[in-house]
Amino acid sequence: MTLLAVAVGVAFAALGAGAERLATVWPADEASHRGPGPRTVALALVSGLAGGGVAWRSSLPAWATAVHLVILGLLVLLTATDLEQRRLPHLLLDPLLLVAIAFVPFNPSVEWRSAAIGSLAAIGFLGLLGVAIRGGVAFGDLLLVAPLGLLLGWPAIFVAIFVAALLSAGVGVLLLVTKRAGLRSYIPFGPFLVVGTVVTLLRDPDLLRVVTAAAAHITR
């Protein structure tokens, strides 16, 4: 399993670097065509650690682990695009949602009711937050949190959102202190949701392992 995790980590590092490069040329209407830089290295490193960590941590059947990695691959592509172009394109969001929905009845870790509640509650929470803090939550973030809620279920999705909020606030303060952003600067929330999701997957004892309905009822 260790060798497999290393191989997956290397593959995801390459995916992260490739996704960052792709985001500079696609979608073409907002392509910057800038060269490689620190973000390329950072996304490669984080993607590699995420992919390798999921493969190493998972005790699910191989097919279920593969589904998690497919979802993670789409999230890497979305993260790169959101960081570069401040958008979450439907060409990536739609397949992510379809895979997440199709996985719900078969997910060995999350019961379908938990998945449905987690997705709906997350959409409702971020939607209300977006109304309360105008411009604080983009519509793409609502579309992104839906499949994340299906993947993590209730209440794990709110752990992911909490981690995302903490990281977003910390990065925002750092950018203000270093004067790289102002109070009204837009900081995409999507990448933080992705990081929060990966952290939750790796830390939650019920995720990435087979949980019976009885055990899920007791622990959740």
Q: What percentage of the chain exceeds 70 in pLDDT?
A: 92
pLDDT of residue 211: 83
Return d(Cα 215, Cα 149) in angstroms, integer. 20
Buried b (16+ CB within 10 A) or exposed e, 176-190: eeeeebeeeeeebbb
pLDDT digits (tens, 9 = 90+) for 135-180: 667 889 999 999 999 999 999 999 999 999 999 999 988 988 887 7
Range of the domain at 151: 2-219
Q: Which residue would you say has higher pLDDT here, 35 or 121?
A: 121
What pLDDT is recorded for position 145?
97
Question: What pLDDT shows up at residue 218?
Answer: 36
Q: Is the pLDDT of residue 216 over 70?
A: no
Single-letter code of the amino acid located at 30: E
**Number of domains forming the structure of the chain:** 1
Please check the confidence at residue 7 and state whether its pLDDT lies above 70. Answer: yes
> Cβ of 163: how many Cβ atoms within 10 Å?
19
pLDDT at 48: 98
